[in-house]
Amino acid sequence: MKYQFTVVVERDEDGIYIASCPALQGCYSQGDTYEEALNNLKDAIRLHIEARYSVGEPIPIEIAVDRVEIHV
């Protein structure tokens, strides 16, 4: 099966890249570089999906991805 998910990559104050997949709650990883964080997250997503399959849980399907602008 082939899936596509939106991922978010942020950089913390120590320069570490933190990557997460909002559609898969609790699915995140990190790396010293953007590429490393993204590759680690791909592994985490695969393992997350395999774990859901093993217990019969559905795989979330993203409906829409959008950006919002907030003025404070």
Q: In which residue ranges of the chain is pLDDT below 50? A: none
Q: What is the pTM of this model?
A: 0.86
Whether the CB-CB separation of 40 and 30 falls below 8 Å is answered with yes
Q: How many residues does the chain have?
A: 72
Number of H helices, E strands in the chain: 1, 3
Please tell me the predicted confidence (pLDDT) of residue 66. 86
Please tell me the predicted confidence (pLDDT) of residue 55. 97
Please tell me the predicted confidence (pLDDT) of residue 8. 96
Nearest Cα residue to 52 out of 21, 24, 13: 24
